[in-house]
Amino acid sequence: MTGNDTATEVRAFLTSAPRDALPITYQQLASALGLRPPRTIQRVAQALEQLMEEDVAAGRPMIAALVVSRRGDNLPAAGFFERAVALGRFPADTRQHEALYIVEYEKALGDRHA
């Protein structure tokens, strides 16, 4: 599966996942897609970054917000926030990131079947 294929598969999975199955962890997503080592989480992260770029360019909510770290805080990994800042979706002030993420998550959740 190439990077573009993985991103397409990730978008399809997140778009069709039941609302009560979200958010999903990076590892759960890798397993659901049938990805095998090596670098499964890295491939998921790269696909999510590609989706973030596509969504921001299209003015859509970032569907990548539906994927979180397994740390237990229901937030994505740091790379999500770094990419959101780089894409201009989030400000550099990290104190605002959690609140903005919650808004982005809700928008992405509601936009999946639009």
pLDDT above 80 for 13? yes
The backbone torsions φ and ψ at residue 24, rounded to the nearest 5 degrees and listed phi first, read -120, 150
pLDDT in tens, 26-82: 999 999 999 999 999 999 999 999 999 999 999 999 999 999 998 878 999 999 999
Compute the distance between CA of residue 64 and CA of residue 53 in angstroms, rounded to an integer. Answer: 10
pLDDT in tens, 80-109: 999 999 999 999 999 999 999 999 999 999
Full residue range of the structural domain in which residue 21 is found = 3-111
Are 59 and 36 in contact, with CB atoms under 8 Å apart? no
pLDDT above 80 for 113? no
Ramachandran quadrant class, 105 (left: phi over 0; alpha: psi -120 to 50; beta: rest): alpha
Compute the distance between CA of residue 6 and CA of residue 22 in angstroms, rounded to an integer. Answer: 19
Provide the pLDDT for residue 2: 55
Provide the pLDDT for residue 3: 58
Please tell me the pTM assigned to this model. Answer: 0.93
**Core vs surface per residue 10-30: b (16+ CB within 10 A) or e:** bbebbeebeeeebbbbbeebb
Number of domains, the chain: 1
Provide the pLDDT for residue 32: 96
